[in-house]
């Protein structure tokens, strides 16, 4: 059905396959490295590339998740992000202390 090497590694025990309406197979994979700087550009290496708009939305979501982890006291639930957020956005770790 699908043949090739995944873009990156996944958690083997977390993957699920379901058959929907006897027509569509839904595959859910859990990435091992789920951070904003590791947004897959395709499912397999050089195949099944993500739509550019979808890729953009994934990077925005992962970058907001990163900011939430780094700033647990802030509420990012209604936040939107713009600017430089590709590859996880800017690194503010040097600003600490």
pLDDT of 48 strictly over 70: yes
**pLDDT tens digits, one per residue of 29-47:** 888 887 767 788 888 888 8
Report yes or no: 2 and 9 within 8 Å, Cβ to Cβ.
Answer: no
Decide: helix, strand or coil at residue 32: coil
Answer with the residue of higher pLDDT: 64 or 83.
64
Average pLDDT across the chain, whole number:
81
- Closest C-alpha to 84, from 49, 65, 59: 59
The two structure tokens encoding residue 81: 């992000």
The CA distance from 56 to 64, in Å, is 12
Kindly report the number of other CB atoms within 10 A of residue 34's CB atom. Answer: 14
Q: Provide the pLDDT for residue 94.
A: 63
**Would you list the domain boundaries of the chain?**
10-88
């Amino acid at each position: 059905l699908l043949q090739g090497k995944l873009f990156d590694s996944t958690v083997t025990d977390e993957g699920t396959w379901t058959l929907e309406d006897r027509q569509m197979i839904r595959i859910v994979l859990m990435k091992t490295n789920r951070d904003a700087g590791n947004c897959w550009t395709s499912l397999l290496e050089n195949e099944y590339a993500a739509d550019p708009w979808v890729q953009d939305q994934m990077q925005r979501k992962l970058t907001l998740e990163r900011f939430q982890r780094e700033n647990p006291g802030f509420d990012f639930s209604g936040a939107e992000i713009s600017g430089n957020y590709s590859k996880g956005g800017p690194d503010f770790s040097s600003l600490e202390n």
